[in-house]
Amino acid sequence: MTDFGLQIEPAFGFSYEDVAGIAKSLRPNGFTSMWASDHFMLDSGDPDRNCLECWTLLTAIATEVKDIRIGSLVTSASYRNPALLAKMAASLDQVSGGRLEFGIGAGWKDVEYEAYGYRFPSAGERVSRLEECIEIITRLWTQPVADFHGEFHQISNAVSAPKPVQRPHPPILIGGSRTRMLRIMAKYADVVNFVPQPDPDSYAETLHRLERACAEEGRDCERIRKSHFITMLVGADEAGVERRLQRVAERDGMSIDEWRSKRSRAFIGTTAQARDFLRRYTDLGVTQFMVVFPYQEEAESIKLFADDVIGRV
């Protein structure tokens, strides 16, 4: 059975009431999880647009909606001290009764780093910091007293209680697709998400590279869950697709062609076409999809998926 989760992009402008309402609708419509990206702002050109903080949002949702899993897709390793992040995640796993999916990545949004006063290191340094971050977090989750002395991060005689509910720890989802990221996935990941992957052929190529990395690490790649994040605009039929395209393009102040161009990695089509497209991923071993729908189109899109996609892929 393929699992479907809904991704929320807080920087699109959601209020908390918006997100809570969406979260409450998920399980009745066949979705098993809700995910949030970890950003602080969309851009400086729209200063009044809401952007709820990821971990605060997930914690609040966990207390209100108790029949779905919750996760970060993905939290930036650069934004929080790794020992603090370990403590936050363990606390949320406790608050949620063991429903946390811990998604983490190296971070990428340079304008956000600069706006909030974070130094934006090179890609290589960000990946190195990520690996140290994961090492510290897993030690704090699993050891009574943890030590780590790396190039960028150190902890000494650190204790973290309570531990997560899930043992040995919440599933670690790592997002990325470059060579060093695949090696880190092979070493640490319980779940992988190859972001960005615009089509199944690209996903297949990256999966083959992960398999090679796992072989070098001495790990069975089959034991790692494969997931996929994808933006989807769907309609019940072609006319429904065109109506939705017109609506979202007008809302964003652009033509349909412009909207399509700016979202070249998105799937746009009918629910029947969506089923065929998603099956190309399940044929590769993907068992979990995290879907993001156009902003303010969530309710109708969730219902369309419940009626015509979930349970048929």
d(CA 207, CA 225): 11
pLDDT attached to residue 195: 83
d(CA 193, CA 264): 19
pLDDT attached to residue 196: 76
Residue type, 200: P
The mean pLDDT value for 7-29 works out to 98
Calculate the alpha carbon distances from 233 to 3, 33, 247, 253, 263 in Å. Answer: 19, 19, 11, 17, 10
Confidence check: pLDDT of 18 > 90: yes
pLDDT attached to residue 64: 97
b (16+ CB within 10 A) / e for 113-141: beeeeeebbeeeebbbbbbbbbbbbbbbb
Give just the sign of the alpha carbon dihedral 304, 306, 309, 312: negative
Task: Give the range among 113-122, 132-141, 189-198, 213-222 with minimum mean pLDDT.
Answer: 189-198
pLDDT attached to residue 254: 93
Q: 191-193 and 172-175: which strand pairing? A: parallel
Q: State pTM to two decimals.
A: 0.96
Confidence check: pLDDT of 160 > 90: yes
The mean pLDDT value for 265-283 works out to 97
Rounded-to-10 torsion of CA 247, 252, 256, 259: -130
Higher pLDDT, 260 or 1: 260
Domains, the chain, in order of start with CATH, read 3-232+267-308 (3.20.20.30)
Could you report the per-residue pLDDT of 90-108, keeping only the tens digit for each? 999 999 999 999 999 999 9
Confidence check: pLDDT of 60 > 90: yes
Which among 81, 79, 278, 287 has a CA at the least distance from the CA of 171?
287
Which among 49, 100, 63, 69 has a CA at the least distance from the CA of 4?
69
pLDDT attached to residue 197: 75
Confidence check: pLDDT of 283 > 80: yes
d(CA 169, CA 135): 13
Query: Model confidence at 255, in pLDDT bands (50, 70, 90)?
Result: very high
d(CA 32, CA 3): 6
Mean pLDDT of the chain: 97
pLDDT attached to residue 198: 75
